[in-house]
Amino acid sequence: MPAQPELWVVHLGRLPYAAGVALQERVRDARERNLIPDTLLLLEHDPVYTRGRRADAAELPLGEDRYAERGIAVVDVDRGGRVTYHAPGQLVGYPIVRTGDVVAHVRRMESVLIAALADEGVLARSRADEGPDFTGVWVQDRKIGSIGVHVRRGVTTHGFSLNADMDMEPWTWIVPCGLTLPMTSVAAETGRSGPIVPCLRRRVAHAYAAAAGVRQRIVAPVRMERILAGPAPAPGRVP
């Protein structure tokens, strides 16, 4: 019987946004060459607003200088979607995976976040039937999880963010995802205090592997770096 395919899961801690993008590109290159299996990077980012391909200026009404004064950079990215916010206290996931169906990939991420939130006692839902602007995960009419992807040669980058216990005020300084609707978090919905990301990270990784029908394998960041920096393994062999 053939071995069950693996999903490599890498817990990266907190990274500047540019470092996260650079790592995604290296992991994508390795995945395109079949040097590694599908991989899920889980991390937190320093405060940053990211502007997707469908964003417009009205979504950042204060202007970049005002955001810079508040310690928040504005970065243009090649994913779909509009403007969103990343900061500590938010779980960010970058699935670097092969897919032949981008819509199914997005729906899988929604289902994964909904399952992980259910384990946290938060009843969430998809609003996929309401159009692309409602992509993501919602608690009633409050958005708790955002999704945006890019695909090159059948391999994905970018992914999802899930608000855990972050400072929510910077969301009010933008028009998130092009919608004038409230944002929320696990902390806001449950009243919990203390770090929520570590537990949420484990739940999301488990739910993603289950949804993909693969076996989760935790890979340390230092080992991933060694693999990406080292010589290519023999054809057909995953290190």
User: Does 177 qualify as catalytic in the annotation?
Assistant: yes
Containing H/E element for 125?
A: none
What angle, 0 to 180 degrees and rounded to 10, lies between the N-to-C axes of helices 102-119 and 197-212?
130
Report the distance separating Cα 41 and Cα 159, nearest Å. 10
- Tell me the β-bridge partners of 187: none
Report the distance separating Cα 139 and Cα 213, nearest Å. 26
Distance of CA 229 to the CA centre of its chain: 24
Report the distance separating Cα 163 and Cα 160, nearest Å. 10
Choosing from 114, 177, 207, 227, the catalytic residue is 177
Report the distance separating Cα 99 and Cα 101, nearest Å. 5
Residues involved in catalysis: 177
